[in-house]
Amino acid sequence: MGGGQAWLGFSAAAVFVVVGLSRAWRVAALWIALAIAGQAAALSLYVAGPTVTYQHLRFDGERASVTAAVVVLLAQTVCVVVALGRRAREVRAFVGRLLVGWRALAFVALLALAAAKISRPAERSLLEFAAAASLHLAALGNLALVAMSLPQAALARLEDWLARVLGRRGATAPDPGGLDGFAWTCAGAAFALAVACNVFAYERSPHVPDEIVYLLHARYLAAGELWLAPPSVPAAFDLDLMLLDQGKWYCPVPPGWPLVLALGVRLGVPWLVNPLLGAASVLVGYLLLRELVDRRSARVGTVLLATSPWFTFLNMSFMTHALTLLCALVAALGVARARRTQGVGACIAGGAALGVIALIRPLDALIVAGALGLWAIGFGGTRLKLAPLLALVASAAAVGALTLPYNAALTGRASSFPIQHYVDVVYGPGKNNLGFGPDRGLGWSGLDPWEGHSPQEALVTSQFNLFALDAELFGWACGSLALVWLALLGARRSRTDRAMALFAFAVIGSSWLYWFNGGPDFGARYWYLAFVPLVWFTLSGLRRASEACAAPARAEAFVGVAVLASLVTWTPWRACDKYRDYRGVRPSQVAAPKLRELRDALVLVDGRRHPEFAQAALLNRFEDPRSTATFAWLRDVATVDALLATMPNRTLYCLQTGQLLGPLTPEAVREIASQAQGSTR
């Protein structure tokens, strides 16, 4: 609960600022203050922490803080119920225009379905669903009261301000064009958010095992090497996602992302690569939205994209997803512009971006290629002529085919992907294949609900991802998917709606065939390509709500306050509560200058493979022959003896929980190893 409590004070300060608004806004300001305070109080009841777990509501923490949070939430609920009761006729009329018949009940059911994560025991899980859904409904009512309480004079001023910032209301046709100050401002804000989280929460260092080897991979690619020389004692340098095979020691993940990260390595700022890619995604996303909707809607969608916590934290990370999303946006923009102009150049750029996705995440490339292929031949819009269509296919194939010589260099066969070869060697043939069966999965207890993979498990893990989306997509207290549900329950569907829905279903449906759903790292990250369709349907839901309002600015005020509350509560809470020291990685423990200045030294790292050895392993400069300091895993006595035999003249040290011990004698090192041998490794 610490993260939520830590930010309660900051949120309370925001409350007082809001209350200080002009008298015309006074009642609405009080509802805004209550919305922010309510979300901060709710977050203080969630437990997630820096472990590999999903957040859960818990009421068994520190008594005083739990009592304070519950009092705030009860006060919010009572105030919302009483205020809505006084406006019952107005509320019924609005809901009747918005959700006819069974759709109102379906909306509440969907809201509840995504409010919590299925867990055991079932009785406790049901209570959590009921409590979380109640919090969502109270927050929804609170945000509705913000919109409803705005007086006409304030609405007129708000509408004038929105017209200046977002553009005039009323246009319905797409407004293709270039970048402007608004887009650059949003991109700068997204960059600043990601950098702030990376510096203060992530400490500019990878935390997830995948991220650590991505950076190691980028380092030796930046040095011009496709693999590293085998370590002298492989057991002492055992890292997840590193394979020693046929005299080559290498990371088996596709080369696209490590190659881009290598640019940051060469410049000495690998931690800035993803924030920059995220800012670029905001710019390209704005251009894509302008091809599809009017300028005002494009700008609202860009704000949603730039302020999304899901987007922010993946841009903070060292994961592959920021680059994948950017390439998918460039590919979609290329097809969208070519549909309008029939130009070949846009398709060449779009196809090249599609090919890059094949070098990052091949399955994602197949999904994007299928969706854009359907779009290009006329599904959801204008059909491309033959020349741009051929340009799209040819450029995608030319760039994507670069993986074939890379595969051949590492595995000996162009058709054999290193990552599949790695899984077959380390875990067993077919364990990582798509599809259902008792032999699927890598035995990750705690992350994989059952052995093997089945349709039943696919449904359960999809609910996990749905919950993660509802929490992290926008960080709204009422549920991030509220407007998505509103859009999907509507009766009208445009051609672009159908195209977006098909693409989102392809992304989500393909994940059903895989035994793992991505876990709690960075939300529903295996569904990340559905981000733009989700923004699209959020815009559609906002449009429906605006049409049902006598004053459309009320609906935009609802969204604006939800975004504000998320920025001052949800994003800082997640950064502090989860990603600070995430997975036990504490970069400060290996950041001491004396560790980097060691020469002719063998440093034995006492602890588990991850996080203790994994984070220290990045101090090795395997790609630099001038480096003489080696950081090895103090795995057991046999490993220590092998290291001492191969490096007999090194000065010996031991790294324990960030403390450097030594110089040590070989006997002292063996003694430490014998004591550690019985611990969990």
- Please write the tens of the pLDDT for every residue from 317-344: 999 999 999 999 999 999 999 999 999 9
Mean pLDDT of all residues in 507-531? 93
Average pLDDT, whole number, for the chain? 91
* pLDDT at residue 132, as a whole number: 96
Q: What is the pLDDT of residues 80-109, one digit of tens each?
A: 999 999 999 999 999 999 998 899 999 999
Look up residue 164 and give its two tokens: 């200046």
- Judged against a pLDDT cut of 50, whether residue 680 lies above it is answered with no
The confidence score (pLDDT) of residue 1 equals 41
Q: How large is the average pLDDT for residues 308-315?
A: 98
Q: How confident is the model at residue 257 (pLDDT cuts 50, 70, 90)?
A: very high
- When pLDDT is averaged across residues 476-505 and rounded to a whole number, the result is 92
pTM across the whole model: 0.94
How many Å apart are CA 399 and CA 357, to the nearest integer? 9
Say whether pLDDT at 618 is over 60.
yes
What average pLDDT does this structure show over 600-610?
Answer: 93
- Check whether 8 has a pLDDT greater than 50: yes
Q: Is residue 13's pLDDT more than 60? A: no
**Residue 2 — pLDDT band, cuts 50, 70, 90?**
very low
Angle, alpha carbons 560-563-568 (nearest 5°): 125
542-574 pLDDT, tens digit each: 999 999 988 889 999 999 999 999 999 999 999
More confident residue, 307 or 382: 307
Q: Tell how many helices (H) and how many strands (E) occur in the chain.
A: 30, 8
Angle of helix 386-400 relative to helix 362-376, nearest 10 degrees, comes to 180
Rounded CA separation 172/73 (Å): 40
Residue 416 CA from chain centroid, whole number: 29
Average pLDDT on 416-425 reads 93
Two tokens, residue 278: 């995220």
pLDDT reading at 11 higher than 80:
no
In this predicted structure, what is the pLDDT of residue 493? 82
Out of 100-114, 165-179, 226-240, least confident range: 165-179
How confident is the model over 136-141, as a mean pLDDT? 97
> Per-residue pLDDT tens for 337-369?
999 999 999 999 999 999 999 999 999 999 999
- In a 3-state reduction of DSSP, which class is residue 632? strand
Return the pLDDT at 681.
Answer: 57
Place 12 in a pLDDT band, splitting at 50, 70 and 90.
low
- What whole-number distance in Å separates Cα of residue 346 and Cα of residue 79? 54
Of residues 121 and 444, the one with the higher pLDDT is 121
**314 pLDDT more than 90:** yes
* Average pLDDT of span 512-521: 91
pLDDT of residue 551: 86
CA distances to 351, 590, 602, 603, 661 from 664, rounded to whole Å, are 58, 19, 10, 10, 7
Q: Which residue has the higher pLDDT, 448 or 295?
A: 295
